[in-house]
Amino acid sequence: MKYLVAFVFSICFFITGCGAVPYTKEEGRPIYSLTDAFGIKVDFYAKPCRIVSLNNSIDEILLDLVPSERIAAITYLADDPTLCCAGDKVKLVKNRVYGGNFEGLVALNPDLVFTASFNGSGYADSLRAAGLKVVTCQTPNNIKCILQYIREVAAAVGEKERGEILVGTLQKDMESIRAKVVAAKEDKLVRVLALSTMGVMGPAGTFNDLCYYAGIRNALDGYNVPAQAVLSEELLLEINPDVIFMPSWDYTKKNDLDNFAKEILENPLYKNVNAVKNKKVYKLHDQYLYSTNQYTIKAVEEMAKLCYPELF
């Protein structure tokens, strides 16, 4: 009997997802509306059934929110495992899109197109001028904004409840990791320094939040160091981190990341830096570290495991 119930539930999910309008509506009145990142009010008269995403992070959210049949296309970046966290889920969606290909977008006949705020309002306006319904989501810069980001995407596709499940699971998993570390380490939390090909990760923003949930401390806390600032030799010696995180992906394709780590490990000036002395210089998966959705939990997990291998 329980298998029959599960089967009926799954059928209902897919049918209400797109095959039939899931709400009754008064003629000419939207069933729900929202205001996007640029203050544009968007009305919906049914749940969108041909969704196109022009942002890799939104690709990943959609794949956990709606059946693949409701997704007309995701970004070409979804096929790059060094950028996308969704794995084989992306194979469920046939079409790929490039932001500048307006003709290709229109040909897909989407009833909703997602963009991100970093593309600018002019870009979204140009899509609307081509006759497309567009929702622009605010690009997150901390964990609180990531949770809201997931909710915004969920609201746009008419799946608020499923969005809350994603948010609730993410919050629960992050809190669980922090509780486990803090219970074991109390006030002896590892101090870390994170480097990217563009500079250091400063004491503000998403990285600081990730450190909090991983039960570690950003070694730059208390320092007036902006994000992506150049790390001086003097500062590295002064902060003396227990662990150094290195990038795993270089979008410029100009840096030798293996040599990047080697230069730090073999620099005689750094021989007494804790991370160097104890050979605790690790690469992080950048697709996790820069995630702005439910997959940010993977960054929290990875950092905690690298800093406290005995606990995980």
Q: What is the pLDDT of residues 255-302, one digit of tens each?
A: 677 777 888 888 999 999 999 999 999 999 999 999 999 999 999 999
CA angle 250–252–255, rounded 5-degree value: 60
Please report the pLDDT score of residue 2 as a whole number. 38
d(CA 196, CA 51): 33
Phi, psi angles (nearest 5°) of residue 212: -55, -50
Residue segments in the chain with a per-residue pLDDT below the cut of 70 = 1-27, 250-255
The three-state DSSP-derived secondary structure of 209-271 is HHHHHHCCEECCCCCCCCCCCCCCHHHHHHHCCCEEEECCCCCCCCCCHHHHHHHHHCCHHHC
Pairing of β 112-116 and β 134-137:
parallel
Reported in sequence order, the residue ranges of 157-215 that DSSP labels E, i.e. its strands, are 191-196, 199-200
